[in-house]
Structure 1
């Protein structure tokens, strides 16, 4: 399954895959083969969820900055999981429900590509230089 997966190396390439709809989701996990063995688990309740959790990459309608800025933000959102042994990869699938963080839960997973370390670094650089990374979200104006 993962032997024939390509690797996406730039935000521009990721943007192209996102725009085309080929890779509308990002996941951090050991990989597709591991995920095929079981659904995601809600760590707080211990309940098994009806699919694997994923992060949607399509920017919302209110987003008027470049898509690459949105993608950098999404790639950087769960980087802490890399330290826990996860690896970022792109996928498509069918949404069946949502998880505790309101993330889509997917079945009928189709792995698309791995995210290269250099894309993660490009995303981190773009996220911290172009956006107010880590700003408080509780002050609505």
Structure 2
């Protein structure tokens, strides 16, 4: 599978296309041998591969595609550190078969398009650092139970 070597290359791949996703895993050789992903919390088999949409949403309007692509990569760049160091991003084309427990697309009819090179992730991180406001990855760190006295009481 080819490697996408720059954020510009990724942007060119996305320009004018729909149905493109990024998946963080050990790769299509492993993923395509299984019917779908599994929910980490419950172990339930899902009807497709968990992925993140790279298609630009209408609300993004005329903002740069480069920034969109950077944001989509940056949001999950923590996964190799928290899941498995062999996890890396790859881009694919596919069809949404449903939604996972985090409302992520579950994709079938997968056609791998390319690995995302490490340099692309670095470029994405630099692109995000240049932005104003508070941007951060979607890193979920387990929180220990603080006990009943500090739990929110719902009325």
Render the CA deviation track for 1:51-98: whole Å, top value 9, x for unaligned.
101110112111132111111111011112122221110001111111
Structure 1 residue 20 displacement after superposition? 3.6
Structure 1 residue 21 displacement after superposition? 1.9
Q: Structure 1: any 5+ residue segments left out of the alignment?
A: 136-141
CA contact (8 A) 1:76 1:123 kept: yes
**Cα root mean square deviation, aligned:** 1.7
- For 1:139, the equivalent position in structure 2 comes to none
- For 2:101, the equivalent position in structure 1 comes to 100
* TM-score, scaled to structure 1: 0.86
- For 1:78, the equivalent position in structure 2 comes to 76
More helix by share: 1
Q: Secondary structure of 1:112's partner?
A: strand
Q: 1:17 aligns with which of 1, 6, 13?
A: 13
- For 2:115, the equivalent position in structure 1 comes to 114
Q: 1:56 aligns with which of 50, 53, 62?
A: 53
Structure 1 segments (4+ residues) deviating >6 Å: none
Structure 1 residue 119 displacement after superposition? 0.7
Q: Secondary structure of 2:78's partner?
A: helix
Using the alignment, how far apart are the partners of 1:42 and 1:17 within structure 2? 29
Q: Structure 2: any 5+ residue segments left out of the alignment?
A: 138-155
Using the alignment, how far apart are the partners of 1:91 and 1:23 within structure 2? 8
Which structure would you say has the larger Rg? 2
CA contact (8 A) 1:91 1:111 kept: yes
Using the alignment, how far apart are the partners of 2:12 and 2:104 within structure 1? 22
| 1:40-51 matches, cutoff 5 A | 40-51=37-48
- For 2:147, the equivalent position in structure 1 comes to none
